Structure 1
Amino acid sequence: MESAETASREFVRAVPRLDGMVVSAVGYRTTGERPGLHRGLPSPYLTLIFSLDGPVISGLTPEQARGSDAFRADIVTGGLHQSPAYVVRPEHEAGIQLAVHPLAARALLGVPAGELAGDLVTPGSEVMGRRAADVRELLCEQSGWEERFASLSAYLRQRAADADADSGGRASVRPEVAEAWAWLARHRGVGTLRGLSRHVALSERRLTTLFRAETGLSPKQAGRLMRFHRARNAVVRPVAAGTAPDLARVAADCGYYDHSHLVRDFQQYTGVSPSGWLAEECRNIQAGSYGGGEE
């Protein structure tokens, strides 16, 4: 926890025990912050937030996030996206944020990730039903992070079990799509659509259609997100340790053609250069909110 004279920050990480369906779980609480905007960056995972202190307010642009047409939700479900979301940072906030594997969306959320791709934010109670709102109220009433994580994990585990029972134990995601995602992950987002389509024995067109319907992205777009996510983590690690990142080395290690190629991806996914994003997020990184690579 980081404390100052007028502000305090707390970030607590849990080890998800949901068979890989949840990649990371972070409890957060901040008080005394200077109100502003936070950039929610694209990643290869879905976002699920249970706010414990008022709605999460966001927008596709800074102007929308600050305006009357901003998105407001106590439970946030966010699909895969390719540009930053702008989230209002209030003076105080608290919640639990999960990074959900997109191929687990059917089991945990009740819909394929592709159905969440059209909107920046979908209220979680609309996707997951009234029970999700009841669970949020329970989390608000509980006093400790360990208890909250246990309650949320139990709820999600039961949702997955119910989804499995409803499907008769059959896999909900086509095996070709699951293997395509696994192939992209093994190759760290670097690989050709031709090589991928040959690997799963589908035509490039058919694979792209099935993959997009399940995840909301094409295989090429998903691969770029995986590569950027790895590069962002590689940039964050030295900053968290108090040193400057070597962007040329990061670009080479993460499969970019050159440093300029990495900068272009940062411009697309964050809206600013790597140095500009680090200047904005340095305090968050050093406080631990980016530990493990998840937002």
Structure 2
Amino acid sequence: MSTGAPGSMEFVRATPRPGGAIVSAVGYRSRGQRPALHRGLPSPYLTLIFSLDGPVVSGSTPEQAMGADAHRTEIVVGGLHQSPAFIAQPEHEAGIQLAVHPLAARALLGAPAAELAGPVVTDGAAVLGAEATQLHDRLQELKSWRARFDVLSAYLRTHDPFAGVRPEVAEAWTWLARHRGAGTLPGLAAHVALSERRLTTLFRAETGLSPGQAARLMRFQYAKESVVRAATADRPLDLSRIAADHGYCDHSHLVRAFRQYTGLSPTAWLAEECRNIQAGGHHNGEESTP
């Protein structure tokens, strides 16, 4: 995100229930910012946004996000992706962004995460129906973040957020998360007592990703956290150490991963996101285990 004229940026975080469907919940509001193009990075979580100040304008490329065929929707659902989404950020915006565990998609969104893996973003009203539209209207009426989070929590509450997910797939995701994406497919398949081919078929049908793709996303997520922590602590950016800590072969391997998921090198991404990081807006589940 580019720097611009002085303005205000506010980020307010709720504390989701540990082990539940919601990994993070962030309320955001900005005023007086220079319009900019933001990269929404791939992560091991689904994205659910309720915009409170006009539609979210996005695209799969910068040109689409800034053009006439951009996606415009006030309720955004985003699946698991392998490349960034581009969001046109206006002078002022407000909303609530949730990071949702992908295995909770059936219970919360009415469909497995695999069905959301096509477009960069999906119109949330089309996925969630009239009840979500009514919720969006209610969130706009409320005046405090606490009240908004309370209403949203009641809407998302479910007895079993992972209902309908095969136990082998659920355990495979847990195993990958425990290994922070550094485990092997043979080791994972042996752990859940399935062949590699059968596991991949079931895992992809549920999430839209292969186990290897999910593992790489998790590994990148943790590496990106380390890059951000170094920047916020004003420490030298030791990419070789970060690569070694997160299962990358070397510095170059980490840089290639950053280019795949952000389109930029780590240093170029940090420079672009400087304003967001300084304001504390870079956390959306990053401090939690996928």
Is TM more than 0.5 here? yes
Letter in 1 for 2:141: E
Report matched runs for 1:54-203 at 5 Å: 54-157=54-157, 160-161=158-159, 171-203=163-195
5+ residue gaps, structure 1: none
Asked whether the equivalents of residues 239 and 286 of structure 1 are also in contact (C-alpha less than 8 Å), the reply is: no
Superposed, 1:211-230 pairs within 5 Å as 211-230=203-222
For the 8 Å contact 1:99–1:294, the answer to whether it is kept is no
TM-score by length of 1: 0.93
Name the CA distance, whole Å, in 2 between partners of 1:94 and 1:240.
24
- The share of aligned pairs that are identical, in percent, is 69
**1:148 and 1:241 mapped to 2: Cα distance?**
32
SS of match in other structure, 1:291: coil
Instruction: Tell whether the 8 Å contact from 2:59 to 2:70 is kept in structure 1 after alignment.
Output: yes
Aligned-residue Cα RMSD (Å) equals 1.7
Letter in structure 1 aligned against 2:273: E
Contact persistence 1:184–1:190 (CA under 8 A): yes
Paired residues in the alignment total 284
Among candidates 230, 243, 250, match of residue 238 of structure 1: 230
CA contact (8 A) 2:103 2:162 kept: no
Q: Is the 8 A contact 2:52 2:95 kept in 1?
A: yes
Superposition deviation, residue 192 in structure 1 = 1.4
1:204 maps to 196
Residue 17 of structure 1: CA displacement?
Answer: 2.8
Contact 2:43 2:221 in 1 (8 A): yes
Look up the equivalent residue of 1:147 and give its one-letter code.
A
- The verdict on how the C-alpha distance between 1:111 and 1:279 changes in structure 2, with shifts beyond 3 A counting, is same
CA displacement, residues 119-178 of structure 1 (integer Å, 9 cap, x when unaligned): 111111111111001111111111110110111001111xx24xx5xxxx9931000000
Q: 1: distance between equivalents of 2:5 and 2:143?
A: 24
Q: Which of 224, 246, 264 is equivalent to 1:272?
A: 264
Query: Does structure 2 conserve the Cα–Cα contact (< 8 Å) formed by 1:18 and 1:153?
Result: no
Q: Is the 8 A contact 2:50 2:75 kept in 1?
A: yes
Residue pair 2:5, 2:33 contacting (<8 A) in 1 also: no
Cα distance, 1:5 vs structure 2: 7.5
Match of 2:246 in 1: 254
CA distance in 1, matches of 2:228, 2:67: 31
Task: Give unmatched runs, 5+ long, in structure 2.
Answer: none
Structure 1 residue 285 displacement after superposition: 0.6
- Rate the CA distance shift 1:35–1:292 in 2: closer, same or farther, 3 A: closer
Give the Cα separation in 2 of the matches to 1:235 and 1:292. Answer: 15
SS at match of 2:231: helix
